[in-house]
Structures are given as structure tokens and as C-alpha cells.
Amino acid sequence: MLLGHGCSTTIAPNTTSWTLSSTTDVSPSLQETFWITELPPNAKHMQVGLRRISTKNGTKREGVIVYLPPSGTTARLYTASEDYDFRLFLANRGYDVFSVEYRNSFVTADEDISDLAKFKTSLTLSDIQQAIAQVKSLTGANKVFLTGHSTGARYVYLYACARGSQDLKGMIPMDGAPWEMSGPTPEGTMDISQGYAALANGDTAANRNLFKSWGMKPGPQYYDVALTNFDPPFAGAVNTYFEQGPTAESPVAGFATVSDYIADQFYRVWGEKQLTNVLNGYAKVGTLLDFVVKAGAEHWPLVDYMEDAYLGNWNGNAPRSDLQFTRDISSVNLPILVFASSEFKDALSFQYRWKWEGYEMIKSADRQYILLNGFGHLDILVGEYAKDQVFTVLYNWLQARK
């Protein structure tokens, strides 16, 4: 599948063999089980993971939900508290909660990452299908609910378009849509074949400038994409926070403590309040750092953001009518619950309307759109008000449709 020309993709039957990697106690009542498999194409990095959080006592299952993490992160747990992770919240109430561990989760910081050029959106969607097939095999469920945050929400829309009728009971995008990057303007001017050629030809100044003209920045390692650019003292401040404590002296003048400096960085890195509205009490520094450090991924494939920008290369009142995707998504007829933060609206070339547009495009009459006033992007996942305004609402929505 060439992203943007269509939504469907041919996916091989589920003959995948998954290997049990670990079983870990999460709490007195919950455990996490982790499986790994290897999938084509033949490359150095072939692994895909699947994490399951469920009760240990075998109580009646309320339902099955699969989570797709945002870009720059893995599916690893970052907290033991259900207040800051909806997966624990749902598992404590009887749901089997699965999370997909993307291929890039297994790529370490210091190795050759040229394989990331192969991690196209179509490949990720195929990996997700294999993971969902394993979920169905493990649970006996015919269909599952699919949720994702940010780029994970984009995969929710694209997967619903490709295989929603076969695999899904409902979809829950969190602060995302079928596209995120706006792409170059005027619309239709992005030649994606140039991008594929630039990836194939490797790291040159001209190739980097091409991606920059499309609204994205390759990382220090060319096949990676730079997502969040904190000021240089930030990394040292994080080390200080964990080594000396949250009240240690700030490395930057003008802040009383290292926590104050880190909070200011989180608050301003994408523009005020957009990543997180932490300075106004919508999140805590410790929780944000746990998420970034424990669930963070070393790499995110540049090709994924390139294809995303191509899908979003339009402007005006409606997406490009020449895209097969635009026609296909209008046939998606699934219950949908959207959570959207009010403060994440124009960072990193993103546009606020894009979170509403995808919701408008699908066919379903069973739809709900919740605008979370004051929330930044991460506050939906790990914020101080997430349990009441996101997790509880999600649980009640699932219960009404199980």
C-alpha cells in the first residue's frame, strides 16, 4: 500500500508464532504478559511485541481493548498507579488490555538504524493486524476495541479504514487523526517518490533540506525523526532530578529548583501548554518524567512522518478528493469516542482542526467527541485530571458497548 493512494492493504493470514518473553506482577491483582515475534521483511530489526495487562485471579473478562502508543514511545509501563495509566485503570475493572510494541521499540540508541527506512505505515499496519490476530487467539474475542494516542490515534483511523469491519468493535482516538503533519503547501505539491529516493540515497545536506521543506527534521541519525527539542541543559537536569531529588538546585538561572526548570521546559517545548499544561496543574513533573524516561523510545522512523505529511498535504475546507483514503474512510461504520486536548493545536506544523476532521469523515452515527479544556497533549495520558475526565469516561463508554 502506498499511503495516500488507498486505505486497504493486503495482509497475510495469521501464521505468526509468538514467543512468551516474560510475565511480571504489576500489582497484587494485575500481571503483565509480554510476547515477541519476528515478522518480514528480512532485515536486522524484525521484532514486534505484544503486552497484556490482566487480572491474576481469572475474574470474568469485561472486554478486550488494544492500545497503540504515540510516536517516540514504547508500550512499557511507566507507573504502578491507575491514576496515570488508563490501561491499569481498565485492567483493574476486568478488561484485558493489550499494547502493541512497535519495531522501533527494539532498536537501541547506538546501532545502525538504516532499517528504519523500511518501517513504512503499511508495514506498521500489517504488524498491528498480526498483533490483533494474536489478541483474538488468546482471548477468543471476535472483535476488539482499538485505541491510540497521537500517532497511535492515526493508526487507529487507518486500521479502521483497512480492517475495521473484520477486527474492530469500536475506535477511540486520543488527540490525533488520520494525519498529523500538514505537509507543504500548496496542496498536492509533495512528491513522495522524492522522499523515498532521499531515504534510499542516504544522509546528505540536500536530502535533509528536502525533509525540512516538508515540515520535519531528521534526527542526528538520518533515518530517525526529531520529535521534541528541549534546551541543551534539559538532559542534565533530568539526571539531577533522579540523582539528587526534585528540590535540587536548578542548572539554569531563574528557577528555584530543578523541578521548576523541567516543568518550564515541558510547558514551552512545543509552545505554551501544547505538550503539557503542567504549570497550571494539569500534570506533575515526576509523572511526566516517568513517562518520558521509562516509556520513551530511542528512535522513530522518518519514513512514517514523511508518509503522514503526504496524507496531510492539503488545505482548505476538505481533504484532497483525489486520495483513495478520503473515499474509503467515509465508509467506516464503527462506534467512535474521540478525546481531544484544547491546548495542543498548532505545534510542529500540526493544526487544531485536524483532530476534528477525521472524526467528521467517518460514517458512524454512534460518535462522541470530547474536548478536554485546559489539557495539553500528554495530559490526556498522564495528567492530574485524566482519571476523571478520560479514563472513567472511556470505561463507561466501553461498558455501554461491550
Domains of the chain: 19-225+302-399 (3.40.50.1820), 233-294 (no CATH)
Q: pLDDT tens, position by position, for the chain (402 residues)? A: 334 334 544 444 455 799 999 999 999 999 999 999 998 876 677 899 999 999 987 667 899 999 999 999 999 999 999 999 999 999 999 999 999 999 999 988 778 899 899 999 999 999 999 999 999 999 999 999 999 999 999 999 999 999 999 999 999 999 998 887 777 877 778 899 999 999 999 999 999 999 999 888 899 999 999 888 899 999 999 999 999 999 999 999 999 999 999 999 999 999 999 999 999 999 999 999 999 999 999 899 999 999 988 888 776 556 666 677 777 888 899 999 999 999 998 765 555 567 888 898 898 999 999 999 999 999 999 999 999 999 999 999 999 998
Residues in the chain: 402
What is the structure's pLDDT at 320? Answer: 64
What is the structure's pLDDT at 14? Answer: 52
What 3 state SS string does the chain have? CCECCECCCCCCCCCCCCEEEEEEECCCCEEEEEEEEECCCCCCCCEEEEEEEEECCCCCCCEEEEEECCCCECCCCCCCCCCCCHHHHHHCCCEEEEEEECHHHHCCCCCCCHHHHHCCHHHHHHHHHHHHHHHHHHHCCCCEEEEEECHHHHHHHHHHHHHHHHHEEEEEEECCCCCCCCCCCCCCCCCHHHHHHHHHHCCCHHHHHHHHHCCCCECCCCCEECCCCCCCHHHHHHHHHHHHCCCCECCCCCCCEHHHHHHHHHHHECECCCCCCHHHCCCCHHHHHHHHHHCECCCCEHHHHHHHHHHCCCCCCCCCCCCHHHHHHCCCCCCEEEEEECCCCCHHHCCCCHHHHHHHHCCCCCEEEEEECCCCCCHHHHCCCHHHHHHHHHHHHHHCCC
What is the structure's pLDDT at 245? Answer: 97
Edge-to-edge strands of the sheet including 336-341? 19-25, 30-38, 47-55, 95-101, 63-68, 144-149, 168-174, 336-341, 367-372
What is the structure's pLDDT at 2? Answer: 35
Cα gap 203→222, rounded to integer Å: 6
